[in-house]
C-alpha cells in the first residue's frame, strides 16, 4: 500500500503559482518588446525554469506515472541550465555595459513609436551627458558621425557658429531651454538647435536636443524680401509714371490755353485790322477820329492783357496785381 505525501496539495499549489508567474512575466515582456540582452537572457532562463517546474510537478504531484526517476533527473538538469543561462547572460550584459557605457538604449514600443515619428532630428541625453537615443541616426551621421556625448556634439557646432554661443561649457549649468540657429553647409539647411532639460520631481534626469529644420522659413523670408524689393521698385516706377502723367496733363492744359488764346487773339486782331481800316478811311472826319483811336488802344491793351494772363496761366504765376497796376497806369 502506497502512502501519499501529506503536503502534496501545498506543493502542487506552489508549483502552479510559480509556473503561472513565469508565464505571465514572459508574456508581458514579449508583448512589450523589451529588446535588450537582459530580457533575452530572462526569456531563455525562464524557458529552462518552466521545463524544470513541469518535470518537478510530474515527479512529485501526479501519482502513478512511469519513469518518475527520469522526470526527477530532467528537473535537476533544467534548473541547472536555468542557473547557467542566468550566469552567462548576466556576464554578457555586464561585458557589453563595460565596453559601451553610453550605448543607445531602446524605449518601450509606445514611446519609441512617438519618438521615431518626430520629423526633425531629436536626441535624448542622460544627466551625465551621454547620448542614449536618436530618432533618425542617418540624419545625425550627415552632421557629425558617431557622437557619444552631448558636449562633444555642441563643441563641434560651436566652431561653426557665427555670433555669441548661448550654450554653457558644462551641461549641468543648463537649467532651462537654450536655443540658437545653425547653418549646415553639408545639407544646405538652417536648423534651430534647442536643448531642453528633462525634469522629474524637481530633479534633472536628462536632456533633449532637437534640430528643428527651419530652412523653409528662411527661404520664405528670402522670397518675401525679394517680393518687397520688387514692390518697392514697382512703387518707385509707379510714382515716376504718375509724375509723367501729371506733366502730360499739365501740358494738355497748356495746349488748351494756347488754343483759346490763339482763337481770342485772332478775333481781336481781325477786329483791330478792321478798326484801323475804318480809321484810315475816316481820317478826314475829325469828330470820330479821336474816339476811334481810343477804341483801338483799348482793344490793343485787352489783347496785351489776354496774352499776359495766358502766359501766366501756362507758367503757373499770378499776375493779377501786376495787371491792376498796369490798368492804373
For the stretch 29-69, pLDDT in tens is: 777 655 566 777 777 888 888 888 888 777 776 555 555 55
Range 109-213 classified under CATH 3.30.450.20: yes
Terminal C-alpha separation, the chain: 167
Residue 195 forms beta bridges with which residues? 178, 209
The mean of the pLDDT values for the chain is 77
For the stretch 284-312, pLDDT in tens is: 555 566 676 777 777 777 777 777 776 77
Here the cell at position 199 is 525634469
Residue of 236, 242, 177 lying closest to 208 (CA atoms) = 177
| Confidence class for position 5, pLDDT limits 50, 70, 90 | low
CA 9 remoteness from chain centre: 69
| Confidence class for position 109, pLDDT limits 50, 70, 90 | low
For the stretch 235-257, pLDDT in tens is: 998 988 888 888 888 888 878 87
Question: Is the Cβ–Cβ distance between 120 and 182 less than 8 Å?
Answer: no
DSSP character for 3?
P
Write down the domain spans for the chain.
8-99, 109-213, 220-328
pLDDT at residue 229, as a whole number: 92
Q: What angle do CA 317, 321, 326 make, to 5 degrees?
A: 115
Q: Whole-angstrom Cα distance, residue 135 to residue 117?
A: 8
Q: Whole-angstrom Cα distance, residue 19 to residue 22?
A: 5
Q: What is the pTM of this model?
A: 0.43
Here the cell at position 307 is 496774352
| Confidence class for position 223, pLDDT limits 50, 70, 90 | very high
Q: Which residues contact 132 (CB under 8 A, 6 or more apart)?
A: 102, 104, 105, 124, 125, 126, 206
Q: Whole-angstrom Cα distance, residue 144 to residue 187?
A: 12
| Confidence class for position 321, pLDDT limits 50, 70, 90 | very low
Here the cell at position 193 is 538647435
DSSP character for 102?
T
Task: State the angle between helix axes of 320-328 and 286-315 in degrees (0 to 180), rounded to the nearest 10.
Answer: 160
Amino acid at each position: 500500500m502506497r502512502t501519499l505525501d501529506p503536503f502534496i496539495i501545498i506543493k502542487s499549489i506552489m508549483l502552479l503559482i510559480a509556473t503561472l508567474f513565469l508565464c505571465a512575466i514572459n508574456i508581458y515582456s514579449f508583448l512589450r518588446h523589451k529588446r535588450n540582452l537582459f530580457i533575452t537572457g530572462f526569456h531563455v532562463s525562464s524557458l529552462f525554469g518552466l521545463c524544470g517546474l513541469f518535470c518537478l510537478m510530474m515527479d512529485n504531484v501526479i501519482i502513478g506515472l512511469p519513469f518518475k526517476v527520469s522526470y526527477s533527473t530532467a528537473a535537476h538538469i533544467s534548473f541547472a541550465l536555468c542557473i547557467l543561462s542566468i550566469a552567462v547572460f548576466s556576464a554578457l550584459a555586464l561585458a557589453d555595459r563595460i565596453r559601451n557605457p553610453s550605448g543607445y538604449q531602446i524605449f518601450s514600443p509606445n514611446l519609441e513609436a512617438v519618438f521615431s515619428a518626430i520629423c526633425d532630428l531629436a536626441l535624448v541625453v542622460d544627466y551625465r551627458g551621454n547620448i542614449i537615443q536618436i530618432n533618425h541616426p542617418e540624419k545625425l551621421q550627415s552632421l557629425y558621425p558617431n557622437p557619444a556625448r552631448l558636449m562633444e556634439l555642441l563643441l563641434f557646432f560651436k566652431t561653426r557658429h557665427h555670433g555669441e554661443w548661448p550654450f554653457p561649457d558644462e551641461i549641468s549649468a543648463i537649467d532651462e531651454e537654450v536655443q540658437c540657429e545653425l547653418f549646415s553647409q553639408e545639407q544646405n539647411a538652417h536648423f534651430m538647435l534647442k536643448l531642453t532639460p528633462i525634469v522629474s520631481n524637481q530633479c534633472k534626469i536628462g536632456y533633449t536636443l532637437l534640430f528643428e529644420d527651419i530652412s523653409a522659413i528662411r527661404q520664405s523670408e528670402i522670397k518675401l524680401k525679394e517680393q518687397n524689393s520688387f514692390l518697392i521698385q514697382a512703387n518707385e516706377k509707379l510714382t515716376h509714371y504718375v509724375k509723367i502723367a501729371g506733366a502730360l496733363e499739365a501740358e494738355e492744359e497748356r495746349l488748351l490755353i494756347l488754343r483759346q488764346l490763339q482763337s481770342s487773339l485772332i478775333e481781336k486782331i481781325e477786329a483791330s485790322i478792321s478798326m484801323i481800316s475804318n480809321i484810315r478811311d475816316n481820317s478826314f472826319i475829325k469828330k470820330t477820329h479821336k474816339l476811334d483811336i481810343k477804341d483801338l488802344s483799348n482793344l490793343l491793351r485787352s489783347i496785351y492783357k489776354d496774352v499776359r494772363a495766358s502766359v501766366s496761366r501756362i507758367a503757373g504765376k499770378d499776375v493779377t496785381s501786376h495787371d491792376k497796376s498796369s490798368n492804373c497806369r
